[in-house]
Structure 1
Amino acid sequence: MASASRRQLAAESLVELEDSDLQSLADSSDSDAPGDLSSDPGSDSESDSITTDVSDVRVWCPVDLSQAPPPPPRFPFTGEPGLKKVCEHNPLAYLQLFFDEAVIEKIVEETNRYASQQLAAPRRPFSRSRTWEPVTKEDIWLFLGLIILQGVVGKPLQKWYWTTNKMIATPFFGTVMSEYRFSLIMKFLHFANNDTFEESTHPAPKLKKIWEVYEMVVENFRTTYVPERDISVDESLMAYKGRLSWLQFIASKRARFGIKSYMLCESSTGYIWNTVLYTGKGTKFNPRFSDYGVATSSVLSLAEPLLDKGYCVTTDNFYSSPELFEILIKRRTDAYGTVRPNRREMPTSFGKQKLKPGDIAAWQKGKMLALRWRDKKDVCLLSTVHDTSTVPTKTRAGKEIQKPQVVVDYNQTMGGVDRADQAVTFYPAVRKQQKKYYKKIFRHLLEQSLWNSYILYKQRSERPITHADYIWRMCECICLRYQTATDARTGRRASYVVNPERLTGRHFPEHIPPTAKKNTPTRTCVVCCSKTDERGKKVRKESRIYCPDCNVGLCAAPCFKTYHTREVY
């Protein structure tokens, strides 16, 4: 009876906690290190005195499901989510929040430096490298635009983008940059000065080729946008099969072999807020958390700027542990996720009790709940914001079952990293033929920046836009901004190719020529179709006038002038 009374009083003390008491609960755990419990977790001695002090809740106690306390209150959320920089509302402006002037200038400087170093050595008489000209910021942007467009227009070989074979030709690539120029920029693309590298003082020697640019872009991820309360931490794998000592194999990932990174994303959108590349023992985590293992230090390093603000972190069983959750509670941060039953400091009887389908077993320790739920197999979770309550849900077969609330919330908030990984694979900037690991990391960084810019653009856009539409509009914006009229062109542009001189060239209206079926054919005006009526439906207006150079239908006035003087989407 003494044991039952002790558990009852401990549960009642947890129920009485208000928001103002959360800090005292976190402070009380400072005196008790996660590994220095005064009694054996899971045991319940009859000789212990009965008390309602909060310190009693610092021992794992089985939860009586018939008298389970309500969920502990969350820490107050004090973050200020949203975009923190001002920019124009066009795709290129959002991408330039991450690839800003400093990043582009760094790439231009190091690419030209590396090219001069390589060209100083003797070359073959007919080497294409002899035609090299130093790159400018405009060249780099056009180069990046073609890389992005290659993710939409997939071809097995890079040189096929410049082929003149009519079956697979894409004339637009030749109008932006010649294949010789593109391949030379790719050959000499560089991000660091090799002459100034010192392994003893470099913060990440294994990433010396890409470290500076990588840090600049990831820092822009963090300063540009503040995520919502719910965030998730998971690992990502970039496919790569080259020779690297820190190459990883993860059987559950689609790529299986590649370069692993730890990522923190916003749960609702998949915005990539922070990331750390894994390089084995030399992985660059925050030195403040060097005393912890890889799983704990990776979460704390990623989320360190967001701690003490009431955020809620969702993790999987690789990261979740009582040790991590204790630290997060001290830093006024909530967390929940799946957990391995044999983790250190878990209740001793946590994984031993046999459950029938639908049964629940739970243990409480202060603000932390350890729960086992039997579905087709045991599902083990840790949470600092949930109780043992269940909610009705439907299976894929349409059968209604009772599922713990923590499981439902976990399924809704854990997919932030997976959502981002899935999105960048649809239109990849990374190519299998890329052998240099640092160039492949750079392409992957460009993919992530493109995805983040799409999220920010979509949030402020009045009309919905798909990811694919956003990418080709991004390429058009780059060409309109950085391509000049003197760029080399080959032959007449095909009618279906986007005209990069739409806003700068000379255009004249003409009547649409007759066809075999119609003497007076019409086309839909592209400007009118970009508008919506009072009911929110697209406006459809036919016109007999079109622009032969752009090959689009336009009203004579004012749409013809509008289309050729401003960006219309």
Structure 2
Amino acid sequence: MARHAPQEDLLMTVDSEEEFSSSSEDDEDIDDEGLHFEEGFDPAQDTFSDEDVIPSRAPHTGAAHKHRSVFNAVENLNKCENDSGQIPVGKRDRNLSWKAETDVDMNPKTLRFLPARKPGPQLSLADSHSPMSLFKLFFSESAMSNLCHNTNAQAARALAKGRKYSWTDVSVDEMYRYIGLVFYMAVVKMSSIADYWRQDSLFSLPLPATVMSRDRYRTISWNLHMSHPDADKENDKKRGTSEHDQLFRLRPLLDTIRIACKTFYHPRRNLAVKERLVACRANAGMTRLTKAKSAKLGFKFFVLADSSNGYTVDLSVYTGKNSFPTGHGISYNAVMSLLDKKALGSGYHVYMDDFFTSPKLLTDLLAMKFGACGTYRDYRRGFPQSASNSLTKKSTRGSIRWIRDGPLVCVKWMDKKEESVCSTIHAAYTGDRVQRKVKARDTWRTKTFPCPAAVTAYNHHMAGADLSDQLLEYFTAQHKTMKWYRKVFLHFLDIAATNAFILHKELHGNMTHKEFMEQLVADLCGVSQKEAPKQTSIDHMPVPGAELTSDVRKIATTGRRICAHCKAVFGKKQQTPWKCQACDVHLCLQLNRNCFQEWHKSV
């Protein structure tokens, strides 16, 4: 290794000049980001080299020539010197070639882990915490009071516009019961909202009608509002200016959820950053994102999760290319916006996928005393482009190639396909091995292969981010709504319930996820989980199906609907102005046809 010292000095010189050069060109060459999420690339980071153009993924622009990594700079410098006859070809090739697992890599400096608080739940272990009390950490009574105030204001505004439904102001207790029903529907799946109030079926459910009527549930859903409608109107007037806030309708609850996530739990050392999509087809008036594989429209969240248990530590919402105006690209700024050194501390290890990973991001995180590791895209600006001694499609499984540039090590590993990982916290190869099943002579057997330490750590800790999404999906509150911000509200409910479950598991660990959700539903709805809810006869009383008109000539016809019993039993479409207050279904009530009585014989 000593005979290469002059060339290594040259490499260090070029590295230093590139690392501390001005980023003004980066600011000038940021392309339009409108199609970024559909194909999954960041215009401020992704470029293509002359040798590896992929037209199907992105256009070939002049940015690829302007933004050269230290690797490309050294390669071009070597080419020039070779043309002048100063450096032999053989020596140049050795310096630029990828190294194998048999070559020894330096061990990166270990970062001292200094968290701002003791990692784990920031609650007393001596106290008993119920699912309801933990959920209220994220949806406190003050937050619910504000939610009720804005919802009532929205309902008043809707009625003033001529909406035809009855409304009484929703209280905090009733809003908690409403959320309890939302979670009940997440645990007990039915094909439609109306099915939860059906009483003419073998699969009828007794709970929803005892909590609130179907119409009341629907009217709350229609008017649910996180911000005040008058303030919304003032914000909408600023559309197109820098003062306009695209997240204004989410802001009150978004800020509350973010603060609560960071206040009541401090993450352990390994963190994961990833994208999360909330599917929605409603018109939000802002950038909607396309997930290429599923072709679903929705809103993109950038999420910071604890890899040990999937706890959502922080999140931000992507609203378009102006979300992060610093000029370093979406992926760079998304990560930086989630990592608050003052709140977290230092010495954390951050794992990310290839959308986020770039040399500048990893270098700047290291300067902040955050180690980082992530998969990367070969064509992204700043990563080595040399093909000398690199992996090929014919490389054997378990083959390793690596190049180190100061604190950064880029590793390629051949599994079923080539994997590329960049890290500031791992050496290229430390002797780790993984097991894979291989087929030989029509029989499968287990075989061990060498594996880079960065790949092993990435697979282990990014699984924590996947765990976070899995926990959200098990009992998700998501369902179809007419307004985009209600989809996000339901996502906030999922985050609050999942984080509350993780806190309960860390503190007590005596409930499964399903048991936790069942107890949370019972607490929110104000019922006992041990006994099936019983409907009292006083709940079942005939009431008019609609508000009575002042015109006496139309009293008998106002609000007439088809009788549920006549349709189910006799197949007839008899209309009646009466309905059951508890069941919320229209039933005949006449001297010669008492469907109301027949319907309730089984109740």
**TM over 0.5: same fold?**
yes
Q: Which residue of structure 1 aligns with residue 172 of structure 2?
A: 137
Contact 2:391 2:412 in 1 (8 A): no
Of residues 371, 375, 378, the one that matches 1:341 is 378
1:29 to 1:45, Cα distance in 2 relative to 1, 3 A? closer
CA distance in 1 between partners of 2:8 and 2:371 (Å): 24
Q: Report 1:352-367 matches (<5 A).
A: 353-355=390-392, 356-357=395-396, 358-367=398-407
**Cα distance between partner residues in 1 of 2:470 and 2:295:** 12
1:317 maps to a residue whose letter is D
Post-superposition shift, 1:466? 1.7
Superposition deviation, residue 28 in structure 1: 11
The question of whether the paired residues in 2 share the 8 Å contact of 1:60 and 1:364 is answered with no
Q: How does 1:226-241 map to 2 (within 5 A)?
A: 226-241=266-281
Question: What is the rounded CA distance, in whole Å, between the counterparts of 1:303 and 1:203 in structure 2?
Answer: 25
Residue of 217, 232, 235 corresponding to 1:198: 235
From 429, 435, 439, the equivalent of 1:394 is 435
State whether structure 2 residue 219 is matched by structure 1 residue 171: no
Contact 1:7 1:61 in 2 (8 A): no
Map of 2:73 onto structure 1: 40
Alignment partners' CA distance in 2, 1:304 and 1:237 = 23
Q: Does 1:155 align with 2:190?
A: yes
Q: Could you tell me which residue of structure 2 aligns to residue 185 of structure 1?
A: 220
Per-residue deviation, 1:5: 3.0
Q: Is the 8 A contact 1:62 1:364 kept in 2?
A: no
The amino acid that maps onto 2:122 is K
The answer to whether the Cα contact below 8 Å between 1:371 and 1:381 also exists between their aligned partners in 2 is: yes
* Residue 473 (structure 1) aligns with: 519
- After TM superposition, the structure 1 = structure 2 runs for residues 47-58 of structure 1, keeping only pairs within 5 Å, are none
For residue 43 of structure 1, report the CA deviation from its aligned partner. 6.0
What is residue 243 of structure 1 aligned with on the other side? 283
Aligned partners of 2:304 and 2:517: how far apart in 1?
24
One-letter amino acid matched to 2:199: T
SS at match of 1:270: coil
1:83 to 106, 121, 131: 121
Shift of 1:295: 0.7
Q: Deviations over 1:83-124 (max 9, x none)?
A: 22457411011111111123111101101111222223445x
The CA distance in 2 between the partners of 1:143 and 1:265, in whole Å, is 28
Identical counterparts, % of pairs: 26
Conservation of the 8 A alpha-carbon contact between 1:234 and 1:417: yes
Aligned residue type for 2:488? I
Instruction: State yes or no: 1:413 paired with 2:461.
Output: yes
Per the alignment, residue 451 of structure 2 pairs with: 403
- Native 8 Å contact 1:177 1:488 kept in 2: no
Letter of the aligned partner of 1:82 in structure 2? G
Asked whether the 8 Å contact 2:150–2:229 carries over to 1, the reply is no
Name the residue aligned to 1:442.
Answer: 489
CA shift at 1:298, angstroms?
A: 0.5
Match of 1:315 in 2: 352
Cα separation, partners in 2 of 1:67 and 1:351, compared to 1, 3 Å: closer
Question: Within 2, Cα distance between the matches of 1:274 and 1:69?
Answer: 35
Mapped to 1, the partners of 2:243 and 2:208 lie a distance apart of 39
Indicate how the Cα distance of structure 1 residues 314 and 10 shifts in structure 2: closer, same or farther if over 3 A, else same. farther
Kept in 2: contact 1:307–1:331 (CA 8 A): no
Change (3 A) 1:69 1:150: same
Match of 1:528 in 2: none
* Closer, same or farther: CA 204–2 of 1 in aligned 2, 3 Å: farther
Going from structure 1 to structure 2, the CA distance change for 1:186 and 1:32 (only over 3 Å counts) comes to same
Aligned to 1:150, the other structure's residue is in SS state helix
Amino acid of the structure 2 residue aligned with 1:256: K
Q: Please list the CA deviations of residues 341-390 of structure 1 after superposition, one character each: whole Å capped at 9, or x if unmatched.
A: 11112123168834412222211111110111122222111001111224
C-alpha distance in 2 between matches for 1:321 and 1:136: 49
Query: 1:77 and 1:367, CA in 2 relative to 1: closer, same or farther beyond 3 A?
Result: same
Question: Does 2:367 align with 1:330?
Answer: yes
Q: Matches of 2:331 and 2:105 in 1, distance apart?
A: 30
1:303 to 293, 314, 339: 339
Report the alpha carbon displacement of residue 134 of structure 1 after superposing the two structures with TM. 0.8
Tell me, in whole angstroms, the C-alpha distance in 2 between the residues paired with 1:282 and 1:153: 41
Q: Which amino acid aligns with 1:304?
A: D
Unaligned runs of 5+ in 1: 14-26, 49-58, 494-569
Match of 1:457 among 499, 504, 509: 504
Match of 1:538 in 2: none
Question: Compared with structure 1, are the counterparts of its residues 74 and 29 closer, same or farther at alpha carbon in structure 2 (3 Å cutoff)?
Answer: farther
Moved more, 335-344 or 65-74: 65-74
Give the Cα separation in 1 of the matches to 2:509 and 2:503: 12
- Alpha carbons of 1:422 and 1:454: their partners in 2 closer, same or farther (altered >3 Å)? same
Other-structure match for 1:212: 252
Provide Cα deviations, 1:134-168, integer angstroms capped at 9, x if missing partner: 11110110000110111010011101111112412
Cα deviation per residue 1:387-420 (whole Å; 9 max; x = unaligned)? 1224121125532222212111111011233222
Secondary structure, aligned partner of 2:105:
coil
- 2:129 paired with 1:93: no
Q: 5+ residue gaps in structure 2?
A: 24-66, 83-94, 439-445, 540-603
Provide closer, same or farther for how the CA distance between residues 482 and 189 of structure 1 changes in structure 2, counting only shifts above 3 A.
Answer: farther
SS in structure 1 of the partner of residue 385 of structure 2: coil
Change (3 A) 1:65 1:157: closer
Q: Is the 8 A contact 1:41 1:348 kept in 2?
A: no
Separation of aligned partners in 2, 1:297 and 1:270: 22
Change (3 A) 1:64 1:468: closer
Distance in 2 (alpha carbons) for counterparts of 1:265 and 1:351: 38
- Aligned twin of 2:55: none
Letter in 1 for 2:73: D
Q: 1:189 to 1:61 in 2, by over 3 A?
A: same
CA RMSD of aligned residues (A): 3.4
Q: Alpha-carbon deviations, 1:221-254, whole Å to 9, x = none?
A: 12221111100111111122233452211124x5
In structure 2, give the amino acid aligned to 1:94: L
Instruction: Between 351-360 and 402-411, report the one with greater CA deviation.
Output: 351-360
Equivalent pairs counted in the alignment come to 455
1:425 paired with 2:462, answer no
**In 2 relative to 1, CA 369–42 (structure 1 residues): closer, same or farther, beyond 3 Å?**
farther
Cα gap change, 1:36/1:240 in structure 2, threshold over 3 Å: closer, same or farther? Answer: closer
Deviation at 1:70, TM superposition (A): 3.8
- Residue 378 of structure 2 contacts residue 385 of structure 2 at CA under 8 Å; is this kept in 1? no
Query: CA separation of 1:373/1:154 partners in 2, compared to 1, >3 Å: closer, same or farther?
Result: same
How far did residue 307 of structure 1 move? 6.5
* Separation in structure 1 between the aligned mates of residue 509 and residue 413 of structure 2, nearest angstrom: 43
